[in-house]
Chains A and B, each alone.
Chain A
Amino acid sequence: MVLRVRAGDRQAFEGLFRAYADRLCQYTASVVRSRAVAEELVQDVFADLWTRREQWDVRTTVARYLYAAVHHRAVNQLKRRALAERWATAATPAPGEDAPAMSTRSEPVDRHVEHAEFRAALCQALDRLPERCRVTFILRRQHHLSYTETAAVMGVTLKCVERQYTKALRLLREALAAHL
């Protein structure tokens, strides 16, 4: 796939985009908290990739490469918006930004009200996690990256990922104590 894109194969490029666009947008949106910005950033990554395709050198998996690229841009975007402090400290959604739209698409079973309440509480608790914790948890749990991959994407050490992930779990457990 990489070789075909490098050789200028438009179909391979489209296939690559279609295979990853939704996931990458989801992830980026959860970092920048805006679906519109996420769409732009992901398209930027792919446009850049296409422009410089001859030099595209993936020494790791395509997925890890793409996640790392969008993560980098998303964090830069946050910095540009002078929201870097949010990255370092606790998070509250900025007013005016669209909320991280959580819907329950393709829910296989119509479950109970209690379940819906639990999910809503979980979404809220997730949203209130410190930023690094939240991103770590999302990459690992919702995008199914391994600890190693998460560390590579975020550009931090494995130990740091483990620490953040464990912290996220504990905080979620505390926040949801009433529901469990």
Chain B
Amino acid sequence: MDDLIDLTLLERYITGETSPGETARARAWIEASPERIAEVDAYRRILNEAAAITPAGFDVDALWARLDRRTADSRAKGATTQPPKRPAPFLRYAGTTAALVVTLGLGALVGHSVDLAGRSSATRAYITGAGQRETIMLPDGTHVTLAPASTLRVLRRYGRATRDVALEGEAYFSVVHDPAHPFVVRTRNASTTDLGTNFDVRAYLGDSAVRVAVVEGSVSVRGNDRSRSGAVVLRAGDLVTVPASAGLQLTHGADVTSITAWSQGHLVFTDAPLRDVLPELSRWFDIEISAPDPQLASATLTASFRDEPVGDVLATLAGALGVQYERAGRTVTLRRPNTRHR
């Protein structure tokens, strides 16, 4: 390849980590010739595929059982018995490592960490693609499970006064409560503040409203348009939707188990209109699935899926709805029987 452009810039362009200026520079270079477009596609394929390789998992339960036995003796001693000693070589090593780098502040390193190669550190973003789900542990021990096609930005000021994160997509939060540093999820239409709790926030761009559902504890939700809505406090089993241009709508006794089942790998639909189901399935199984027939789009579906092959999902879907489907690679079209030949 022509060396006029830095390969690291190109790589960051491909993975979406460039600043607007860099993006423009990369685009200009790429679009100058068709070979370059093909070249970038080749690199993109390598990068995406490499990130998707998942080696076989380890048996963490068994490993913990062994470690638990092995460290059981020092457990009995408690925390106060050992006098401070000179740090062991291993710890000294870690100390030098720490001194070597500028602390960027935060972040467990799951998901896709974006910090512009260390040059800018305003936020760190965790990004899941279609078909991916990821659990992140933030430095305070808070766990966040990200649904497919979602982005969680951890703002640089995280933990200083408040613990601010910004979400697009859906995430399940299990927050380590700390009244001195409130945990706040910022989304398109609303912000949600933790009051000690497990909750789900959903704010996909295609959704008509932001939705917050509480499994345990409570949260406070405030619309971003403060002239229209004050804050409401939600408790376990409560659900609130926040449309762009209306007040908050609170529901008590919602089926929060189904709503959050996705975080355990279960996708549950209960009388859900197909127009809502299809974008969800597309995100989960990394396909483009559509139902051009408007009548079909308003049909409802009750079904649950797990991590299963997309072929099985489509077969279940077609069976439940009494429809046929055509599949060409990642594109799937649902049709009612006979409509095709009319």
Q: Is B100 an interface residue (CB 8 A)?
A: yes
Q: Are B109 and A21 in contact, with the CB atoms below 8 A?
A: no
Q: Is A170 an interface residue (CB 8 A)?
A: yes
Residues in B whose Cβ lies below 8 Å from that of A145: 109, 113
Q: Is A52 an interface residue (CB 8 A)?
A: yes
Q: Are B103 and A55 in contact, with the CB atoms below 8 A?
A: no
Q: Are B115 and A155 in contact, with the CB atoms below 8 A?
A: no
Q: Is B295 an interface residue (CB 8 A)?
A: no
**Among B7, B137, B310, B329, contact of A170 (Cβ-Cβ < 8 Å):** B7
Q: Residue-by-residue, is B105-136 near A (CB-CB < 8 Å gives 1, otherwise 0)?
A: 01111111111011000000000001110000
Q: Is B91 an interface residue (CB 8 A)?
A: yes
Q: Residue-by-residue, is B60-81 near A (CB-CB < 8 Å gives 1, otherwise 0)?
A: 1001101110110011001100
Known contacts: A119-B53, A144-B113, A169-B46. The answer to whether A17 contacts B97 by CB under 8 A is: no
Known contacts: A61-B109, A144-B110. The answer to whether A102 contacts B71 by CB under 8 A is: no
Q: Are B70 and A169 in contact, with the CB atoms below 8 A?
A: no
For residue A2, which residue of chain B has the nearest CB? Answer: B139
Residues in B whose Cβ lies below 8 Å from that of A72: 90, 93
Alpha-carbon distance A116/B45, docked complex (angstroms): 13
User: With contacts defined as CB atoms under 8 Å apart, how many contacts are there between chain A and chain B in the complex?
Assistant: 228
**Among A17, A26, A38, A172, contact of B46 (Cβ-Cβ < 8 Å):** A172
Alpha-carbon distance A115/B206, docked complex (angstroms): 30
Q: Are A58 and B64 in contact, with the CB atoms below 8 A?
A: no
Q: Are B94 and A68 in contact, with the CB atoms below 8 A?
A: yes
| Chain B interface size, under 10 / 10 to 19 / 20 to 34 / 35 or more | 35 or more
Alpha-carbon distance A158/B101, docked complex (angstroms): 10
Q: Residue-by-residue, is A137-180 near B (CB-CB < 8 Å gives 1, otherwise 0)?
A: 10001111111110111010010001001100110110010001
Q: Are A147 and B287 in contact, with the CB atoms below 8 A?
A: no
Q: Is A82 an interface residue (CB 8 A)?
A: no
Alpha-carbon distance A63/B112, docked complex (angstroms): 14
Q: Are A60 and B98 in contact, with the CB atoms below 8 A?
A: yes
Q: Are B54 and A126 in contact, with the CB atoms below 8 A?
A: no
Q: Are A108 and B131 in contact, with the CB atoms below 8 A?
A: yes
Q: Is A47 an interface residue (CB 8 A)?
A: yes
Q: Are B307 and A106 in contact, with the CB atoms below 8 A?
A: yes
**Among B82, B113, B307, contact of A146 (Cβ-Cβ < 8 Å):** B113
Alpha-carbon distance A64/B118, docked complex (angstroms): 14
Q: Is A22 an interface residue (CB 8 A)?
A: yes
Known contacts: A50-B74, A169-B11. The answer to whether A69 contacts B94 by CB under 8 A is: yes
Q: Are A143 and B117 in contact, with the CB atoms below 8 A?
A: no
Residues in B whose Cβ lies below 8 Å from that of A69: 90, 93-94
